[in-house]
Amino acid sequence: MIVSRVGFLSWSMRALVACVAAEIASIWLITRYFEVGSLGWPILLVPVVLAAMAVAVPKRTLRIIAAAVVAFWCFATIATVGLLFVPCALLMVVAAAGRREVR
């Protein structure tokens, strides 16, 4: 039953779900081990905003740009929480490689 429902999700939507899961995990990790007031919280929202834009505006050019920026963001933040967002970046690359978006 669940497999059939997941089959209807677009790759961009799957990337958004993976990104939200990584966001929750990174917020949990950061609030557990670091000082909360000293962090740049808007930086953590970059992948979620880009993944949401790729779902909201189904243009291939936007998906390519969003995938590239999220991949760079993962590389730039690999020492902290970037590794958590690698599945999101990979799914966004798959979504950008597709010719059309199925909703």
pTM: 0.80
- Cα angle at 94 between 88 and 100, to 5 degrees? 125
Other CB atoms within a 10 A radius of the CB of residue 17 amount to 17
Q: What is the pLDDT of residue 90?
A: 94
For the chain of 103 residues, list the mean pLDDT of each consecutive stretch of 10: 52 91 89 71 86 88 92 90 92 83 50
